[in-house]
């Protein structure tokens, strides 16, 4: 299999990407990929620090003739989002990704590909491995746990870093130079509930919503994609107004920074209401098919009456609070920019709903490029928490990255791109968390951009990496390293 990938260009980049794909590296499970990076450095006699949390720093001296040029930092994250199709049997903690070539794309069978940000790691390794690329001193920063809240970057010890120029390799469109991004925070609501005896003369039913595209909760939030958790909440709210019912369990999504593709629940209801529930589900199937005709043509809402022996259910009050909260918690785009066309300013994603022994937890990823708008989302959730009597917690708060009026690196990148491809690169902001904001706070005066090849449908099993775009970005990166003064 590796030999097949070795035929692609740029050879070393693709080879390293293949090798990385064989190492389990979901967020929080970076031990093996960190060890791989450390061994890579030792095999090439490069300076390396492996930190306690598995962050990695590798330093490579400047190539001949570049010793007097200030050093450059190449930065990427080693973890990936682990999403799979419902019918895919796969253990992200143990198994290598089953990647394959489909014309111009690299894909993974039934799972996320991990090109976010494995391709950035692979490009950095190819630079460190090369004896031909002209470059200043390179300091390669590989962080952990980016996908769950950028904690690797927040914990990174920059005391050994000497560079004042940083190229982040975590962007996903090859004709863009990213120069600013949103900040964000993770919000959790915990609904404590009582287990009560199942009401007499009730039956059980499972409701399952599938077929959604999902995607990145920042990059794809403005594309009109449906959130499975929110849609299931709508169905349940409609049912709760028509009949007495109790939740047994509810779940949806697996990562708070991924738009959930599937959601399901089990409820109890009176036998006489079975037909009524069927009508409600069919009605919402029609609603959703019409509302999301373009982006979500495969949406499917299923109802199954099941013979469950469960004798305990979630109490009435908690059932109503949970269903109402799913409808009231902010979700999707909240505000749009007045300066940048089609750019969200603030958003929220109800990413995960999980039923535990005595609580239901709803996890949200909130983002904003304006600090006060992020505080607004936090305030709304605090108010809802007070009304619903949830335990609310916040974690993974990270800063945004503001556009710099002066940036020699950005100017050089624009010039190099124009010379290479005979067109202007787009200077863009992104509604997603990029580690540049954190490193900019840690290293005052740091001059930064972010670039990367075309990657589509990240954070979903449809994720795919363009091979030709990877070659284009590699050419851009190596020429940029040579032109940095």
Catalytic residues: 79, 146
Q: Which residue has the tokens 């003064």?
A: 485
Distance CA 472, CA 419 (A): 13
* Among the listed residues 205, 216, 204, the one whose alpha carbon sits nearest the alpha carbon of residue 81: 216
| Spacing of C-alpha 17 from chain mean position | 19
For residue 220, the SS3 value is coil
Given a contact cutoff of 8 angstroms between Cβ atoms, the answer to whether 255 and 351 are in contact is yes
Q: Name 274's Cβ contacts closer than 8 Å, sequence gap at least 6.
A: 203, 205, 305
Place of tokens 């920019």: 337
Q: Which residues pair with 178 in a beta bridge?
A: 428, 450
Please say whether the beta carbons of 297 and 167 come within 8 A.
no
Residue 329's nearest CA partner among 344, 351, 345 is 351
Which residue has 């954070």 as its token pair?
A: 459
Contacts of 166 (CB under 8 A, 6+ apart): 72, 73, 74, 75, 436, 439, 443, 446, 447, 448, 449
Instruction: Single out the residue of 425, 411, 439, 430 nearest to residue 473, CA to CA.
Output: 425
* Closest residue by Cα to residue 431 from 253, 222, 226: 222
* CA gap 163, 409 in Å, rounded: 13
Residues 6 or more apart in contact with residue 18 via CB below 8 angstroms: 1, 2, 5, 6, 99
């Amino acid at each position: 299999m590796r030999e097949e990938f070795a035929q692609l260009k740029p050879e070393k980049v693709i080879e390293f990407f293949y090798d990385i794909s064989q190492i389990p590296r979901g967020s929080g499970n970076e031990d093996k990929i960190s060890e791989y990076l450390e061994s890579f450095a030792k095999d090439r006699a490069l300076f390396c620090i492996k930190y306690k949390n598995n962050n990695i720093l590798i330093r490579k001296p400047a190539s001949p003739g570049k010793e007097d040029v200030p050093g450059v930092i190449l930065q990427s994250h080693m973890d990936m989002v682990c999403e799979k199709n419902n019918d895919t049997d796969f253990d992200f903690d143990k198994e290598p990704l089953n990647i394959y070539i489909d014309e111009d794309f690299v894909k993974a069978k039934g799972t996320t590909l991990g090109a976010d940000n494995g391709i950035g790691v692979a490009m950095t390794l190819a630079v460190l491995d090369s004896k031909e690329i002209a470059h200043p001193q390179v300091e390669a920063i590989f962080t952990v746990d980016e996908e769950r809240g950028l904690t690797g970057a927040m914990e990174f010890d920059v005391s050994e870093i000497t560079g004042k120029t940083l190229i982040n390799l975590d962007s996903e469109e090859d004709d863009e130079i990213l120069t600013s991004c949103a900040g964000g925070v993770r919000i959790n609501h915990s609904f404590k509930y009582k287990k009560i005896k199942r009401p007499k003369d009730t039956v059980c039913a499972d409701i399952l919503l599938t077929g959604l595209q999902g995607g990145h909760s920042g990059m794809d939030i403005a594309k009109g994609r449906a959130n499975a958790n929110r849609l299931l909440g709508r169905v349940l709210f409609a049912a709760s107004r028509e009949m007495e019912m109790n939740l047994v369990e509810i779940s949806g999504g697996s990562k708070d920074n991924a738009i959930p593709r599937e959601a399901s629940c089990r409820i109890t209801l009176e036998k006489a209401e079975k037909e009524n529930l069927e009508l409600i589900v069919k009605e919402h199937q029609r609603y959703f098919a019409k509302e999301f005709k373009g982006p979500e043509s495969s949406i499917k809402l299923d109802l199954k009456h099941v013979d469950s022996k469960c004798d305990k259910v979630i109490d009435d009050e908690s059932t109503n609070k949970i269903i109402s909260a799913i409808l009231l918690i902010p979700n999707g785009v909240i505000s749009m920019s007045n300066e940048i066309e089609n750019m969200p300013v603030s958003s929220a994603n109800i990413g995960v709903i999980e039923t535990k022994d005595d609580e239901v937890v709803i996890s949200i990823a909130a983002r904003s490029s304006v600090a006060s708008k992020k505080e607004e989302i936090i305030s709304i959730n605090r108010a809802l928490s007070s009304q619903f009597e949830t335990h609310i917690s916040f974690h993974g708060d990270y800063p945004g990255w503001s556009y710099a009026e002066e940036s020699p690196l950005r100017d050089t990148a624009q010039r190099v791109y124009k010379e290479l491809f005979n067109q202007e690169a787009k200077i863009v902001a992104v509604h997603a968390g990029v580690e540049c904001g954190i490193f900019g706070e840690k290293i005052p005066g740091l001059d930064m951009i972010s670039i990367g090849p075309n990657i589509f449908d990240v954070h979903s099993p449809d994720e795919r990496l363009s091979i030709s775009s990877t070659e284009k970005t590699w050419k851009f990166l190596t020429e940029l390293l040579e032109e940095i003064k």
